[in-house]
Amino acid sequence: MIQVNKIYNKIPVIEFSPNTAHPMGVFFLVHGHTCSKDPMYFGTFPERLTDLGYLVVSIDAFKHGDRIEEPYLTGQDFEKTEAMLEVIQRTSSDLLYLYQNIYQEIGGKLGFLGISMGGHIVFQMPKYIQKIDLLIPLIGSPDLKRHYIEMKSHIINPDRMNKLNSVFSLLNNDDSIYNKNDLMLIVEGKNDPIVSYRNAYDFYTRMKSKGYGNIEYIDFPVGHVITSEMENFVITFITKHTVL
């Protein structure tokens, strides 16, 4: 695996290249809130995905990592929590830019794997890119308004929450954005106090009832963490569906 830092259109990324003449596809890694593109936040995923032949691209989310800005320098928790919605929107657009202008020409399979906030972003990506082969949201939420009301009300007061409604509308994911041919693996922590598994589980059951047979769901008896068991499960899933 070869690791190189690059910047495209002011978007910092790390590229992890496989030891092959040409990658068999591209896998984007998207980190959690207040984290960065650093491989320390992704466990064994960069190495194991490059072993499968993917070019792996880890991106600094908007206002994170090498492009950190307020409120992530000195802001209060409620300011950072409110800002996360803009971060999700802007980072989703950045991923679209990177794919269309830098990585689309590689061809092969296209995958997105995100953790926590990155998982929220993975749920957003079918609005931006019509055909995605593998969507892997880990401890993420498809319904961000519900997520904020259920899990962030202790941080954001009712008046400030109401002012976010226009942003919630922009980030709303209609079921129709998801392609029935795309594979999705949803992984949640059953005991997670930060991201409720119910949000994603309800999405999964609703989509299955609508005939989306390529969506799979699993939860583990853990909190807000990705364990080695979860990593192994994800890699097994990706490996199974990597043959072109």
Report pLDDT for 221: 98
Confidence at residue 92, expressed as pLDDT on a 0 to 100 scale: 98
Q: What is the pLDDT of residue 148?
A: 97
Q: What is the CATH number of the domain that holds 130?
A: 3.40.50.1820
Distance CA 73, CA 64 (A): 10
pLDDT value for 1: 85
Which residue range forms the structural domain that includes residue 127? Answer: 2-240
Q: Convert the pLDDT of each residue in 90-141 to its tens digit.
A: 999 999 999 999 999 999 999 999 999 999 999 999 999 999 999 999 999 9
Report d(CA 103, CA 206) in Å as an integer: 33
Task: Identify whether the C-beta of residue 164 lies closer than 8 Å to the C-beta of residue 85.
Answer: yes
Please list, in sequence order, all residues whose beta carbon lies within 8 angstroms of the beta carbon of residue 232, skipping any fewer than 6 positions away.
none
Contacts of 94 (CB under 8 A, 6+ apart): 11, 59, 62
Quote the strand ranges of 79-223, DSSP E.
Answer: 109-115, 134-138, 183-189, 215-220
Name the stretches of the chain with pLDDT < 50.
none
Tens of pLDDT, residue by residue over 192-202, are 999 999 999 99
Give the dihedral of Cα atoms 96, 101, 106, 109; nearest 10 deg: 10
How many angstroms separate the CA atoms of 40 and 57, rounded? 14
pLDDT of residue 242: 86
- If one counts the domains in the chain, the total is 1
* 27 SS3 class: strand
pLDDT given for residue 98 in this prediction:
98
Token code pair at residue 167: 């942003």
DSSP state of 79: H
